[in-house]
Amino acid sequence: MSNIPPELKKTEINAEQREELDSAFAKARAALAIIETYDQARIDRLCQAVAWAVSNKKTFTRLVAEGIAESRLGDPDSRMGKRMKIRGILRDALRQKSVGIIEEIPEKGIVKYGKPAGVVACIVPTTNPDLTPAGNAIYGIKARDAVIFSPHPRAKKTSFETVRLMREALEKEGAPPDLLQCLTRVNIPMSQALMAEADLVIATGGQPMVRAAYSSGTPAYGVGAGNSTMIIDETANIEEAAMNTRLSKTSDFGSGCSADGNLIIQEGIFDAFLAQLVKEGGYIANDTEKAALRKAMWDDELHRLADTVAVAPQKLAEAAGFSIPADRKFIIVHGDAIGKGHPYSGEKLTTLLAVYKYGTFDEALNMMRGIYNVGGKGHSCGIYSFNQDHIHQLAMAAPVSRIMVRQPQSKANAGAFNNGMPMTSSLGCGTWGGNVISENVSLKHYMNTTWVSVPIKEDRPSDRELFGAFYDPAMEEGEFTAEDMTSAC
């Protein structure tokens, strides 16, 4: 029986879509019944098989080329690096248990058992038609789920091919290929129906789709919008910080929510840092070019224009009516005021960043707060500093779920081999970003967990310990009985 909420029934799917969806769920449920019988060793082997099927260099090179040709978005050189993310997700998955007993806490008398979540609906963004299916497939199979992918229409052929390769790998291992399926008749109503009928939703994409996921009536993990902002203080290694800025800003032509959007730079190093950004490939736009870029990137109501999203800086400049040298990798504008009416303080999603100058660190924090009031709360920020007090102050003040210290934001916040963040392609943004979690979506979010509790030695502090200075024995009449204690729940 469908559990589609009434508000989603206003856009019904057609008969062919209904037939495809019903068939996909029937196959997924049948595959679930089989994978639930597999032991940990076989599950781990399947994870390795599907990961290799997509992330080997020859195959991923082809998928990247197909994805960029199909969507007309992104940079082939930096997108190739995303295959390392698949390796990281596989590493994290293989190091955890998901079958039977997955954790024991003897001092608390707790034993935890891993159970499948069921059929997972995975919404695939246009900028990651290969990475997102692969990452979700690894975690889904590790949790013994079945996953049905809803690809972005602009990159659906690439996503379908990615899933086909993983299905082929499963079949070679004697596992049901229908553990992974990709819809073909995709549009918004089809995605809505998929989410409403699944057991769990992983929604990576634009805010309208994430909101639809939360409105589907199905438990969902979504992501918030980004507006990554980095503070560069006077203790920063200028060369390292500028290089990391370039790496983060240019990754896949700035298409990701984690790509650096704003730099807040201490005034004493401001000029030197800008000079270093130019050495890294930055182009500083003059006032005329800055005004032209604004018209090319936003309409009169300050809505972001799609044709300048995730494009090379030369193409971005061309759209604004000027040209820049072929060796330039990103464009820099001097930020004006910060606020809703100043779009440069918002998310760019392309090869452009804004720079701001600050005096005291309190000023930097106030500018950071202002930027996140424009957009991006809950997502990410970072700092280039060796001043532990500055790092602590930012951690206390920033309304974000993750802060990268001396790291390229878009290369680090979803997990890297030189930090401890869980590897993922989906970043929860907490209640700031309208999400249910403020952490990286990883294996535990694809599983149900059964807690088994056995009796332990009584752990009951005295009332004086519990209430401290508020405790007044004169206010207590009599003692708690054994019946009082057992009925406390």
Q: What is the pLDDT of residues 152-193, one digit of tens each?
A: 999 999 999 999 999 999 999 999 999 999 999 999 899 999
State how far the Cα of 347 lies from the Cα of 375, in Å rounded to an integer. Answer: 7
- What is the DSSP-derived secondary structure letter of residue 487? T
- What is the DSSP-derived secondary structure letter of residue 268? T
Tell the burial category of 484 from Cβ atoms under 10 Å away from its Cβ (0-12, 13-18, 19+).
exposed
pLDDT band at 12 (very low <50, low <70, confident <90, very high): confident
Integer-rounded Cα Rg, in Å, for the chain is 25
Nearest-5° Cα angle at 63, 128 to 47: 75
Mean pLDDT of 332-344: 95
User: What pLDDT does 10 receive?
Assistant: 43
User: What pLDDT does 440 receive?
Assistant: 95
CA 228 to centroid of chain Cα atoms: 13
pLDDT band at 280 (very low <50, low <70, confident <90, very high): very high
- Catalytic residue from among 257, 381, 429, 489: 257
pLDDT at 388 over 50: yes
Cα torsion 269, 409, 256, 423 to 10°: value is 180
pLDDT at 103 over 60: yes
pTM assigned to the model: 0.91
User: What pLDDT does 319 receive?
Assistant: 97
Both tokens of 164, joined, read: 């086909």
Percentage above 90 pLDDT, the chain = 85
Mean pLDDT of 21-34: 98
User: What pLDDT does 208 receive?
Assistant: 74
pLDDT band at 204 (very low <50, low <70, confident <90, very high): confident
Other beta carbons less than 10 A from residue 308's beta carbon: 21
Is 257 catalytic? The answer is yes
Q: What is the pLDDT of residues 307-320, one digit of tens each?
A: 999 999 999 999 99
User: What pLDDT does 211 receive?
Assistant: 79
Task: Tell me which CATH code domain 229-420 carries.
Answer: 3.40.309.10
Q: Among 261, 249, 293, which residue's Cα sits nearest to residue 372?
A: 261
Helices (H), 72-215: 76-79, 82-94, 131-142, 156-172, 188-197, 207-214
CATH topology of domain 6-222+442-449: Aldehyde Dehydrogenase; Chain A, domain 1 (3.40.605)
User: What pLDDT does 173 receive?
Assistant: 98
Both tokens of 452, joined, read: 């088994």
State how far the Cα of 164 lies from the Cα of 170, in Å rounded to an integer. Answer: 10
Q: In what order do the strands lie in the sheet with 330-334?
A: 282-284, 330-334, 352-358, 262-266, 229-232, 378-384, 400-405
User: What pLDDT does 489 receive?
Assistant: 54
Asked if residue 152 lies in contact with residue 40, where contact means CB atoms within 8 angstroms, the answer is no
The residues, ordered by sequence, that sit 6+ positions from 186 with a Cβ below 8 Å of its Cβ are: 150, 151, 152, 153, 156
pLDDT at 329 over 80: yes
Q: What mean pLDDT, rounded, does the chain reach?
A: 93
Least confident of 24-28, 203-207, 339-343, 402-406: 203-207
- Domain spans in the chain, listed from the N-terminal domain onward: 6-222+442-449, 229-420
Least confident of 193-202, 217-226, 281-290, 348-357: 217-226
Report the sign of the C-alpha dihedral through residues 384, 205, 200, 171, in that order.
negative
Q: What is the pLDDT of residues 110-122, one digit of tens each?
A: 999 999 999 999 9
pLDDT at 405 over 60: yes
For residue 232, list its beta bridge partners. Answer: 265, 384
